[in-house]
Amino acid sequence: MTNPANSVEIDTQPISCHIENSVANLTLNRPDRRNALSEEMLRLLREHLQQLDNDSSVRVVVIEAAGKVFCAGHDLKEMTHGNEDEFRKLFELCSETMQLIRRIRKPVIAKVHALATAAGCQLVAACDLAFATPDAAFATPGVKIGLFCTTPMVPLVRAIPAKPAMQMLLTGQPISAKRAQELGLVNEVVSENEMDERINQVCDAIVGSSPAVIALGKNAFYDQLRQAEPDAYRSACDVMTGNAIMHDAHEGITAFLEKRHPQWSDQ
């Protein structure tokens, strides 16, 4: 994988997509605007995610960014004008796009090399996994400009404990990559030189498993999070029973016992 953080420009598209070895790299590519999520960027991100979800050659999606900032949130220049309906459509588009990250069958990984604020922090929190360099930082600073980060708050409070989340929301102060890892916002903090190798290792591990089972498991994971524990166990039993009679479960168990690599079915 290339390291867009060290490149001046990848191409002229606001979001570029590169697919290699079953991994799709989506790169936020508006470094001159700190990769702010304009309405166009959100629509393109949504379209890319929908297309990649339907592409059987893609098994993992990595979201990264070009330039010195991962993502500065919404494009404030677009928000200096507009009526209530226009603002509602913008925030609904953002919310739909963030939820789509959770709904698609492919795991989505955030690769964060720098500052992620407001809707940029929301984007990281919405991803299934997140890896950051020591230079990364995370903030929800909307309160400082009179616009509380209520939509970024939704995935944030589902990723980290309530009190640290509230502190971020009330103060707008950034937290370091190390603190983000301690709270659970990111999985690991990895040096810039080692980031590509580590992301590749994680992607390879995912690609090595059954795509059908990965999709089933991702959906079940988020489904049970919304349930009380007894309901979650009932749902999990249903899912695991269905999983157990799938071809890939039979193939995986047989391959393990026969000490060979499994041959997974197509998704």
Contacts of 73 (CB under 8 A, 6+ apart): 36, 37, 117, 118, 119, 120, 121, 122, 142, 152
158: helix, strand or coil: helix
Mean pLDDT of the chain: 94
Confidence of residue 267 (pLDDT cuts 50, 70, 90): low
Among candidate residues 54, 70, 214, 204, the one with its CA nearest the CA of residue 128: 214
**Residue 94, both tokens:** 């953002």
pLDDT at 10 over 70: no
pLDDT at 209 over 70: yes
pLDDT at 81 over 90: no
- Between CA 95 and CA 92 the distance in angstroms is 5
Asked whether the whole model's pTM tops 0.95, one would answer no
- Looking at residue 57, the DSSP 8-state letter turns out to be T
**Residue 108, both tokens:** 């989505």
pLDDT at 152 over 80: yes
List the chain domain ranges. Answer: 4-207, 211-257
Q: What is the pLDDT of residues 98-112, one digit of tens each?
A: 999 999 999 999 999
Give the mean pLDDT of 117-144.
98
The pLDDT of residue 9: 38
Yes or no: is domain 211-257 CATH 1.10.3470? no
> Which CATH superfamily is 4-207 part of?
2-enoyl-CoA Hydratase; Chain A, domain 1 (3.90.226.10)
